[in-house]
Amino acid sequence: MEWLSAHSQTISAITSILTLFVWFFYAQILYRNFARTRRPRIIINRGHGNDLSALCLISNMSSEPIFLEHIIVTLHTSKGSLINDMIDFEADHQQDGPNSEKSSQAENRNDSEGMRSSQGPMLPGSYSHVGSFEAILRRLCSVHDVTLEQGRPTDDTVFHFLDIRVVAIYGSEDHPIGAARRFRLHMNNDEACTLVPVSLDTKRYANRLQRWRVRQWIRHLDG
């Protein structure tokens, strides 16, 4: 008891420091959990197969709605890269799945002009698609005057990769966020072209430096 009385101030100081560390530890856990729930999450994937007939799916797994602004598609070939914004495209009704009207909150149609737009809001947990990868490839090659036959170029051009990049506004934030995923195109002589994701997950562009890169994507389109 005498020892405790003699060192009471030191013990009190150590206890206060340990208590502070404990509260700091719990505060970090709470902050990380809050930040994780607030973090935007967009997933780009293929659906209904692994060849060009598969649908290009875009899912909003964020806790808040997002507003789709651009869907940038880049085809890397042996003769350079082809790029175009696919947010608005010509309607291709034969590519629609049976549940496309239910599942696609961000998809708007203008049947009188034969056009479709994926621009618009997406609720949390919802998904949309911009048609099949074959339709995307066909639209992109049509814009750049590349002739296709059965999903393959008629000349000696070789397709390597297909990049899908999404630009969106998350919740009430002012600056756009991005998501990107690359698919490898295996074009064998005797088999259908297959799509293989290069990465296991969609790359997220949400921090300050990454959002600067997203703005560069938009400037490149406008230029």
> What are 153-211's pLDDT values in tens digits?
778 888 889 999 999 999 877 889 999 999 998 876 666 678 889 988 999 998 888 98
Buried b (16+ CB within 10 A) or exposed e, 8-21: eeeeeeeeeeeeee
Residue 61 sits in the same domain as residue 28: no
Residue 49 sits in the same domain as residue 136: yes
Strand ranges for 50-156 from DSSP E: 55-60, 66-77, 80-85, 88-90, 108-110, 115-117, 120-122, 127-132, 148-149, 152-153
Residue 90 sits in the same domain as residue 192: yes
Residue 128 sits in the same domain as residue 141: yes
**Number of structural domains found in the chain:** 2
Residue 26 sits in the same domain as residue 135: no
- Look up the domain containing 143 and give its range: 40-222
What is the share, in percent, of the chain residues with pLDDT greater than 70?
78
Residue 25 sits in the same domain as residue 90: no
What is the model's pLDDT at position 45?
Answer: 92
DSSP string, 26-72: HHHHHHHHHHHHHS--EEEEEES-SBTTSEEEEEE-SSS-EEEEEEE
Residue 26 sits in the same domain as residue 78: no
What pTM was computed for the model?
0.75
What is the model's pLDDT at position 103?
Answer: 43
Residue 28 sits in the same domain as residue 131: no
Residue 93 has pLDDT above 50, yes or no: no
Residue 95 has pLDDT above 90, yes or no: no
Residue 30 sits in the same domain as residue 136: no
Residue 11 sits in the same domain as residue 76: no
Residue 65 sits in the same domain as residue 129: yes
What pLDDT, in 10s, does the model give residues 123-164?
Answer: 999 988 888 888 898 888 888 888 877 777 778 888 889 999
Per-residue pLDDT band for 35 (boundaries 50, 70, 90) equals: low
Residue 122 has pLDDT above 60, yes or no: yes
Residue 115 sits in the same domain as residue 30: no
